[in-house]
């Protein structure tokens, strides 16, 4: 049975392995070079400091995937908008792992009083587009040829999910 739980520092090697596979073998991340364990630790430490959860899907002691969110943009007025991330290990895709990782991430964004979750998805990634739409995300933008990877130009779609939070938004 697949269980969803909060990530801990001991999970970082498995998280790194999943992320680096995504970098090296997919267009889900517009990055070329694999990350190091030190980079993943700095990323995790930043998430922990900011109170942003990282969720893990685990089965029989193996980490199958992860989900989290982070700032959409750095300017103050974007403080209620976040961008999500959902990654599944290569051999585990198509089993519904990402579908299990979405609800806790969405609920955490609501608990943090976020208003919008934005998903940036490479335009031919039908599985991710379908996943997000099944949770109520709507396509709001299609950027043409904004990335270049594996010898071709890549389009990027933005999808958004508008939440019923925050309860009392403020400007500050």
Tokens in use for 16?
A: 């790194």
Evaluate whether residue 146 is within a structural domain.
yes
Q: Which domain holds residue 117?
A: 3-162
Label residue 70 by pLDDT band (50, 70, 90): very high
Q: What's the DSSP call for residue 76? A: G
Evaluate whether residue 167 is within a structural domain.
no
Q: What is the pTM of this model?
A: 0.94
State how many domains the chain has.
1
The pLDDT tens digits for 107-161 are 999 999 999 999 999 999 999 999 999 999 999 999 999 999 999 999 999 999 9
Evaluate whether residue 107 is within a structural domain.
yes
Could you tell me which residues come within 8 angstroms of residue 55 by beta carbon, excluding any fewer than 6 positions away?
4, 5, 6, 7, 66, 67, 68, 101, 104, 105, 108
Q: Would strands 81-88 and 116-122 be described as parallel, antiparallel, or unpaired?
A: parallel
Evaluate whether residue 169 is within a structural domain.
no
CATH number at residue 135: 3.40.630.30
Beta strands in 49-101 (DSSP E): 55-59, 62-71, 81-88
Res. 77: pLDDT tops 90: yes
The pLDDT tens digits for 10-52 are 999 999 999 999 999 999 999 999 999 999 999 999 999 999 9
Only one residue has tokens 């949770």, namely 135
Evaluate whether residue 172 is within a structural domain.
no
As a whole number of angstroms, the distance between CA 154 and CA 61 comes to 36
Evaluate whether residue 61 is within a structural domain.
yes
């Amino acid at each position: 049975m697949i269980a969803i739980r909060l990530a801990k520092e001991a999970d970082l090697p498995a998280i790194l392995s999943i992320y680096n596979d995504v970098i090296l073998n997919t267009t889900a991340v517009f990055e070329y070079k694999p990350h190091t364990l030190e980079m993943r630790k700095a990323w995790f430490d930043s998430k922990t400091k900011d109170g942003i959860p990282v969720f893990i899907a685990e089965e029989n002691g193996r980490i199958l995937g992860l989900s989290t969110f982070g700032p959409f943009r750095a300017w103050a007025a974007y403080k209620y908008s976040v961008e999500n991330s959902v990654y599944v290990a290569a051999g585990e895709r198509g089993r519904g792992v990402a579908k299990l990782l979405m609800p806790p991430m969405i609920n955490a964004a609501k608990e943090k009083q976020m208003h919008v979750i934005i998903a940036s998805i490479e335009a031919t990634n039908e599985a991710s587009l379908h996943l997000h739409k099944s949770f109520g995300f709507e396509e709001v933008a299609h950027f043409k040829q904004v990335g270049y990877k594996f010898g071709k130009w890549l389009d990027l779609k933005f999808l958004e999910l508008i939440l019923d939070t925050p309860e009392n938004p403020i400007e500050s």
